[in-house]
Structure 1
């Protein structure tokens, strides 16, 4: 049965807002319909052993769209009979979309924007790469209006994607921004604004509640 290959640098046990989001979405797939290709991080063996789907760790601590990493993604898409790919963070790994489409049976590619893509969109050289990512995938999803501004494709190819975790897992745990009239830092939109003081505490709680 075809699977979705999740290609990401942001996966537990590494902690943070994007990691929590990607994990929460991935565990909602049927176990036989998803596989993960991600970077290595301390403690990953014990973590991955508890998951019901395959997780392939690269030797690198940070995946970049190099020839070697792209070739490995192609090999895994073939090995797991994948017909779709989800880039947990659009930039920079979404630059592999074209090769995956040309060299595998993958026909649907989705990339998610978070916060750093907004910086890419404001920088001339990086903006061109972001547009290339948008042209290479079928859809670019965003978590809110802030990251929508950094989504590269035309508006008819953008999709809003809410968090896959429970509502309690994403409840703000601090009042760091309330004096400015904003919500606390537990929401995806707040994380996109770079306000991540609760990311470490919130991510561990979200993982526990989504298993």
Structure 2
């Protein structure tokens, strides 16, 4: 088995979807070393001993952001030589995958993971050419789903497009499951036995929490006892709290530790995150692991139609895909599910079955191991 050097800016204790993806991959690949940036003061203070608990070495650069500079390339080559690494995995193709050409003489196979932001790179002059260079100097550029494959292929050369392979994140169905602690979360926030719509995500414009709030009066008109549980934090928090002022049917949790997320999903009856594409396609959802985590927890999902988000839903079977830019479609989907608990339960059960079969970490890491092995 190869020993793999993972070069990444996205790694815990910093929170985020890419960070979780790279962390889970690192835990499951046979033999890895991680070279990553230093966490911010707040992240480091939250878990100062994180690296020490990991079953593999972590080399932290002094920089807060790793860029494919000559210094970073030299240090990566040195780590690979000292640790006996014969393959490299870039946690995100852009921008660190640009180091692949300079590292070609130091390691064997090189694989670049993509998420959502690289599809934005594919649209921009300069960035598009940089992404093409990543494709030409690595052995494989991965993609999350059909949407991201099509977008990335516009920037990559024909040979690089032919080498693309799908590697999507998995879900730990032992953690994300029905009965994961939702009763305690309901008690904590005074939700009782009310019908609950839960949204778990960073509070940023693309995720569509504002659309949920605009849809909420219509939902309450049809389901008067419903509650909306908004889980997470982010730059839009103050604006969203202001928009919900005056109603006791919307609860904001603030930041929640990763260990408590399964219980927060489990507190809901329906999951909703009506994401939408912004900035002419530059701000787009790559996949939306939250939909799969919700499905694993047995919830039907209401997903926005941004980017690759529909790849995480079987429409009409595990949930609904709606236009995330307008409140009406979101309200109608939520009312339909809240007023028909049997339908919601069937969709939730179908979603868990689908995730257990198609979205496992073992499956994702087996694909990666094959790509990293000569």
- The verdict on how the C-alpha distance between 1:164 and 1:24 changes in structure 2, with shifts beyond 3 A counting, is farther
The CA distance in 1 between the partners of 2:176 and 2:118, in whole Å, is 22
**Residue 163 (str. 1) matches residue 163 (str. 2):** no
**Residue 145 (str. 1) matches residue 146 (str. 2):** yes
Give the CA deviation at 1:21.
0.6
- The verdict on how the C-alpha distance between 1:78 and 1:136 changes in structure 2, with shifts beyond 3 A counting, is same
Give the CA deviation at 1:6.
0.3
2:290 to 176, 180, 186: 186
**Residue 93 (str. 1) matches residue 96 (str. 2):** yes
- The verdict on how the C-alpha distance between 1:184 and 1:96 changes in structure 2, with shifts beyond 3 A counting, is closer
**Residue 111 (str. 1) matches residue 112 (str. 2):** yes
The CA distance in 1 between the partners of 2:175 and 2:64, in whole Å, is 27
- TM-score, normalising length from structure 1? 0.79
Give the CA deviation at 1:156.
1.8
The CA distance in 1 between the partners of 2:109 and 2:308, in whole Å, is 30
Which residue number in structure 2 is paired with residue 51 of structure 1?
Answer: 54
- The verdict on how the C-alpha distance between 1:165 and 1:57 changes in structure 2, with shifts beyond 3 A counting, is farther
**Residue 130 (str. 1) matches residue 136 (str. 2):** no
Q: Secondary structure at the match of 2:273?
A: coil
Give the CA deviation at 1:83.
0.7
What is the total number of aligned residue pairs between the two structures?
187
Which consecutive unaligned segments of at least 5 residues does structure 2 have? 178-199, 201-264, 266-270, 276-286, 293-302, 310-360, 362-374
Give the CA deviation at 1:187.
4.0
- The verdict on how the C-alpha distance between 1:107 and 1:193 changes in structure 2, with shifts beyond 3 A counting, is same
| Cα deviation code 1:146-193 (max 9, x no counterpart) | 221225353321100121441466787431229xxxx97614898x84
Q: Secondary structure at the match of 2:76?
A: helix
The CA distance in 1 between the partners of 2:4 and 2:289, in whole Å, is 31
Give the CA deviation at 1:142.
1.0
The CA distance in 2 between the partners of 1:126 and 1:184, in whole Å, is 24
On the 8 A contact 1:140/1:153 being kept in 2, the answer is no
1:176 to 267, 273, 277: 273
Which residue number in structure 2 is paired with residue 17 of structure 1?
Answer: 17
On the 8 A contact 1:85/1:110 being kept in 2, the answer is yes
Q: Secondary structure at the match of 2:7?
A: strand
Tell me: higher relative CO, structure 1 or 2? Use CA pairs within 8 A at least 6 residues apart. 1
On the 8 A contact 1:113/1:150 being kept in 2, the answer is no
Which residue number in structure 2 is paired with residue 202 of structure 1?
Answer: none
Which residue number in structure 2 is paired with residue 35 of structure 1?
Answer: 33
- The verdict on how the C-alpha distance between 1:168 and 1:128 changes in structure 2, with shifts beyond 3 A counting, is farther
- The verdict on how the C-alpha distance between 1:184 and 1:100 changes in structure 2, with shifts beyond 3 A counting, is closer
- TM-score, normalising length from structure 2? 0.46
On the 8 A contact 1:39/1:57 being kept in 2, the answer is yes
On the 8 A contact 1:25/1:164 being kept in 2, the answer is no
Q: Secondary structure at the match of 1:71?
A: helix
